[in-house]
Amino acid sequence: MDLEFTPEEKSFRDEVRAFLRKALPKDLSDKVMQGKRLEKGDYVRWHKILYKQGWVAHTWPKSAGGPGWNATQQYIFEEECADAGAPPVLPFGPRMVAPVIMKFGSPEQQQHFLPRILSGEDWWCQGYSEPGSGSDLASLKTKAELKGDKYIVNGQKTWTTLAQHADWIFCLVRTASDVRAQEGISFLLIDMKSKGVTVRPIIMLDGEHEINEVWFENVEVPVANRVGEENKGWTYAKYLLGHERTGNAGVGYCKRWLKQLKQVAMTQQSNGKPLLEDTRFRDKVAQVEIDLMALELTNLRVIAADAEKKGPGPEASMLKVKGTEIQQALTELFMQALGHHALPWQPAALDYGYDGEVAGPEHGVSATGDYFNYRKASIYAGSNEIQRNIISKMMLGL
């Protein structure tokens, strides 16, 4: 198997690198590289830069407004962006709801929503999980009753990432209760400015406001905002989750973190020598690197299958499990490498331009918060235990 890029692919990589050197603002890359807090404006600014270049929806076909890249080009672009310290393009619009609208949405929905997702005019969030309905998503209770040409929605969603900024939310709602749980769910697109929508913050262990509760009280949603058929939302939800789990692998960002981990471990001392020369610590780093190489190859296979219109299959569950395990392992190794310097937690130091004192080395400022934050990675998008069930049934026949 030839793992080398072709001359054409190397030329494309050079094109991406040249673009990043020219177009990626230094303050944005500094924020990412230093683990500083990213604000809404940071994400929007980078989204609009990529939109102007025609690269913001790099997994989309040309017919939908994307660049029409193949799997290898998509991979090269993601890896180079991560290595350069570009902010991530938030996935809720381009990588999650957009593929569903492309495949199952009406022509009117495609014409209205896809251009606004591309331009960044609409910020999306995901309305799946509920209190008591996380891994067992089919047990969701948010209800939508059909009244003429509208649905009346009542219920609650939770763990809704960045809903405080969102213009729209894509929601799974219960539209039938007299059938099997998975058969009574519909997929609605809901305007967050609708009367009866309330967003309440959930403050995480690291003190950050990333997730929220979203409440619906007699919210009116036009039937025209239902994607596909009524009570067929479970099919669309599974399709979306396949794309979400593929993105959760985070190979490019893990490779950058691994590089940074090695740099940190060379500056920290253990028994008078760099920590990276400590046999036990070096073995842990080597194991993560081997796992990451294997994940990278699997990710390429899944992307290639999706490009052939097969759609993400159970392999996406493999990416989700291993990708999130690697992310958690890297944050743990950062904590170990920093030792007692990782203990102080200074949220104010996450602000870009902070000129106060920092307890310990600068590169340790975000370590504790990252460690806390990535504990959730093995739970969202379907817990890793659920993903192992999917793998055992669909790939191993158990």
CA neighbor of 198 nearest in space, from 154, 145, 152: 154
Looking at the structure, tell me whether residues 84 and 200 fall in a common domain: no
Looking at the structure, tell me whether residues 197 and 309 fall in a common domain: no
pLDDT value for 398: 61
Looking at the structure, tell me whether residues 85 and 11 fall in a common domain: yes
Is 312 a residue whose pLDDT tops 70?
A: no
Structural domain that includes position 299: 248-394
pLDDT (average), residues 289-295: 93
pLDDT value for 197: 98
Q: Please write the tens of the pLDDT for every residue from 326-345.
A: 999 999 999 999 888 887 77
pLDDT value for 354: 84
The answer to whether residue 174 is domain-embedded is yes
Looking at the structure, tell me whether residues 183 and 76 fall in a common domain: no
pLDDT value for 290: 96
The answer to whether residue 106 is domain-embedded is no
Structural contact between residues 331 and 371, judged by C-beta atoms closer than 8 angstroms: yes
pLDDT value for 67: 96
Contacts of 255 (CB under 8 A, 6+ apart): 79, 82, 83, 292, 296
DSSP letter for each residue of 55-122: -TTTTS-GGGTS----HHHHHHHHHHHHHHTPPPPPSIIIIIIHHHHHHHS-HHHHHHHHHHHHHT-S
Q: Which H or E element spans position 156?
A: strand 150-157
The answer to whether residue 138 is domain-embedded is yes
The answer to whether residue 168 is domain-embedded is yes
Amino acid identity, position 75:
Y
Looking at the structure, tell me whether residues 217 and 275 fall in a common domain: no
Q: Please write the tens of the pLDDT for every residue from 76-119.
A: 999 999 999 999 999 999 999 999 999 999 999 999 999 999 99
| pTM for the model | 0.88
Looking at the structure, tell me whether residues 266 and 382 fall in a common domain: yes
- Cβ neighbours, 10 Å, residue 63: 8
Degrees (nearest 5) of the Cα angle 251, 257, 258? 85
Q: Please write the tens of the pLDDT for every residue from 154-188.
A: 999 999 999 999 999 999 999 999 888 889 999 99
Looking at the structure, tell me whether residues 383 and 315 fall in a common domain: yes
The answer to whether residue 100 is domain-embedded is no
Instruction: State the total domains in the chain.
Output: 3
Looking at the structure, tell me whether residues 253 and 390 fall in a common domain: yes
- Cβ neighbours, 10 Å, residue 3: 8
The domain boundary residue, chosen from 179, 201, 231: 231
**Which residues partner with 197 through β-bridges?**
216
Distance CA 117, CA 103 (A): 15
Q: How far is CA 94 from the centre of its chain?
A: 11
**Which residues partner with 274 through β-bridges?**
269
The answer to whether residue 243 is domain-embedded is no
Looking at the structure, tell me whether residues 204 and 270 fall in a common domain: no
**What does R_g of the chain's alpha carbons equal in angstroms?**
22
Q: What is the CATH number of the domain that holds 353?
A: 1.20.140.10
Q: Please write the tens of the pLDDT for every residue from 24-83.
A: 999 999 999 988 999 999 999 999 999 999 999 998 999 999 999 988 898 899 999 999
Q: What is the CATH number of the domain that holds 71?
A: 1.10.540.10
Considering the chain, what is the average pLDDT of its residues? Answer: 89
Looking at the structure, tell me whether residues 82 and 168 fall in a common domain: no
pLDDT value for 1: 43
Looking at the structure, tell me whether residues 79 and 129 fall in a common domain: no
Q: What is the CATH number of the domain that holds 187?
A: 2.40.110.10
The answer to whether residue 238 is domain-embedded is no
The answer to whether residue 32 is domain-embedded is yes
Looking at the structure, tell me whether residues 150 and 256 fall in a common domain: no
The domain boundary residue, chosen from 201, 231, 261: 231
List Cα–Cα distances, 241 to 69, 95, 137, 140, 325, in angstroms: 22, 10, 12, 16, 18
The domain boundary residue, chosen from 71, 89, 107: 89
